[in-house]
Each structure stands twice: as structure tokens, then as C-alpha cells.
Chain A
């Protein structure tokens, strides 16, 4: 029975790999998107803390970054974004390497939930940029789009795991 379970798990974890190149590569694509997103969030974190320049720079990013929405308490939201990309990247890595305490599908559900939260918040921030602050920071929008892409990709995996449970 145990060997049967093992083989079943194996077939489940590798189901994506055997049923289509694109789906099989989703964790890798998610990982790359996380690298892009972390780069953007890292840049925004840097500029948020960049006091060495000792200037207030003109431009919509300056306005957005100086708004009250750019921080939750003492924490710049750019750091939250950085954290989200880091955690999602870990789930992607765990799936690529097939390591960690969760199954492939467990990591997928975790990644989906985290990136979904990120997307909801990014959506709220984009709303704030357009309707409240009246300034669009292209870097923030880039991050929102990257998060949207991650959620779409994870949703494809979710679709499949609901469609074909073990």
C-alpha cells in the first residue's frame, strides 16, 4: 500500500510535467516573475529609504511614495511586496526541486493564496493611485502586473489540481 501511495504521489507530482510543456514550466516562470517583481519592489524599497540623495524628486513615483498609502505603520509597502515575492519564489523553488514539507499541490495552493492576497492589495493601491493620489507610479503598476501574471499562472495549476485530484 505504501508503495502504491508513493507511486501515486509520484504520478501526481509529475502530472504537470507529463501533460504539457507550458504547465510543467509554470513554477519556473513564476520563479522568474518573482525575480522581476522582487527587483521592482527592491528598487521601490531603496528609493523609499534613499535619504542619501537628500532630495524630494519630482515625478509621480515621488508623489506616490510620499503618500500615506506607501506605508503601513512604519513598514513601507514596497517591503511587503518584496516579502511576498520572496515567499512565492520559495514555493516555486520547492515545486521545481520537489522539496519541502508540502506536496506540489500544497505549495501551489499556498502560492496561489499569497499571490492572490498580493493581487488584491495591488488592486487597491492601483485604485488609490488613479482615484485618490491622482498619480501613477510606473514601477508600482509593473509590480501589480507581475503579481497578476503570477496569480493567473497559479490559477492554471489550481484548475488542474481540482480537475484531477489524486
Chain B
């Protein structure tokens, strides 16, 4: 019992070294040898059990890891969806009703000066709507966040139709790209699309093509396919994303999110107050009306 190290025994029934006797008392003679042999057999049995247990543990873990690595959900081969309003040559604002299109930007391309505004106003996002609108709503989102996607697809078109297109609200989209590499890649790519004046079309296309997180939905090939789909100059777009042209822009937006105390997406900032998470349109409308009343 007081031994500090496990003993190694090569064969059963052999005469044991004397020092073992200190630990385990054995009767002398043939019965003693028999008991010792039984004891050794038991010890060997436990060692085998233990080795078996360890082996099973290792096999199970290796299998789990292999399953994770090999059964990788790969979204990079999925077909790219171009939202009707964002597609190249899609009808302009007057042609399609806002409800008929899932594209936020296409609802009001003429009335809304769009594009990056980092230099002009000191903000770090992209603007949609009348710059003289009485209220500006800031939206922080990550292109990979499923709730941001739901907001962009389900609620934002209605928000744009009711408030942005009517000149009551200017919308500013800011990146809070934090869900991994593809969040950063998608955000940078959106800025590259903005360089060509098609930020909102790309924004809508990204949200229409969400598929898991960091599983290839926003792999380079798919981003390029999206750019092609909305009619960007692909060579310019490719050199923009390959050169990490807007890495600093996204970084600045992320830093602004931290400065604004935004810790989750989607977060809307309406008249200085945060509306966190995906809520209902009614809730959003009430907040906007309240903010407009305060103006």
C-alpha cells in the first residue's frame, strides 16, 4: 500500500523479488505461490482492462475529431443566389415595389446617396437615404450573423419602404465583423462593392447567401460570383479584395462598435438608444415614431 511506484512483473508464478513482500503479505509455501499467482493474474487483468479502456478512449476521440474535420460542412460549392433587386439590370426604384424586392438598396437607388462615408462625415459606415432626413438609424451587423440576415431579409425592406424612401430616416450600416474570417472577408468585399457604387446590392446579396459560419458561404470564389451577379467590374473587385484594400475600414468600424458599446448583432442605434437583437417590425416602428416625435 505504501509503495510509491507500480511494480513491473514479467511473468506469472515466478518467484517475486523480496521487496514485494513488504507490500503484500503472502503465506509461505505452495499456497503462498498460488495466491501470489492469482494476485498477479488479477493485476494483469486490470492492466488489460485499463489498456483496453485507454485504447477505446483514444479510438473514440480520434473518430470524433476525424468526423469533425472530414465531415466539414462546405458551403463553398453552394449556388450563389442573387436577390432580384440586386441583379444586374434589375428594374430601378420606380419599376418594382419595395415589397416585391428583397433588395434594400434597390428600393431607392436614385433618392439615396450611397457609399462609404468615412471621410465625409466621420462615420465608418454606409449610408442609405436622404442625408437631410430628421433621423439617422445606425445598424451594426455581421454578414455571417443569422439574425442580422433575418433582419436584412425580413424587416429592413419594410423599414426602407416606410421610412428611408419617404425621407424620414437615413440608415447607416456599420460592420461589426466578429464571427470569424469570413465575416471579415465579406465585410471587406462589401466595401469593395461600395467602391463601385453597389454597396447595398452586395449587402443584400451577402445576406441572401448566408450558410452557416465560416463554412465557405463567403469564400473568395463565391464573393466573386456575387460580384459578377450584381454586375461589378470583377477585375477591380478581385484586386480590391485580394489587396485587403478595406481591411482598415472594417477594422475602424469594429473599433467604432466597441466605442459605441455594441456587443452583439444586430444592434440598431435609434436616437442614441440601442435596440439589441432581432425584434419585430412593430417594435422597431414604435421606436422610430417615438424618436421622430422627439426631433
Contacts and interface: CB of A to CB of B under 8 A. Distances in A.
B18 interface: no
A158 interface: yes
Interface in A57-88: 57-59, 62-63, 66-69, 72-73, 80
A126 to B, nearest CB: 13
Contact of A120 (B47, B57, B72): B57
| Chain A interface mostly | helix
Interface of A: 15, 19, 53-59, 62-63, 66-69, 72-73, 80, 105-106, 109-110, 112-114, 116-117, 120-121, 124, 133, 158-166
Contact of B64 (A56, A67, A121, A166): A121
A93 to B, nearest CB: 19
Interface in B245-293: 257, 262-267, 276-279
A57 to B, nearest CB: 4
Given A66-B213, A121-B65, 15 more contacts: A54-B277, A56-B145, A56-B146, A56-B179, A58-B176, A66-B180, A67-B180, A68-B72, A68-B214, A68-B215, A117-B58, A120-B57, A124-B65, A160-B1, A162-B50
5 contacts: A55-B267, A56-B146, A117-B57, A117-B60, A165-B46
Contact of B264 (A58, A114, A161): A58
Contacts, number: 121
A49 B180 CA distance: 19
B178 A62 contact: yes
B68 A72 contact: yes
B278 A120 contact: no
B47 A54 contact: no
B237 to A, nearest CB: 27
Given A56-B145, A56-B147, A163 B46 contact: no
Contacts of B43: 162, 165
B266 A55 contact: yes
Contacts of A158: 50
Contacts of A54: 147, 150, 277-279
A124 B3 CA distance: 34
Contacts of A117: 56-58, 60-61
B23 interface: yes
Interface centre among B57, B144, B214, B277 (most CB of A within 10 A): B57
Contact of B46 (A56, A57, A109, A113): A109
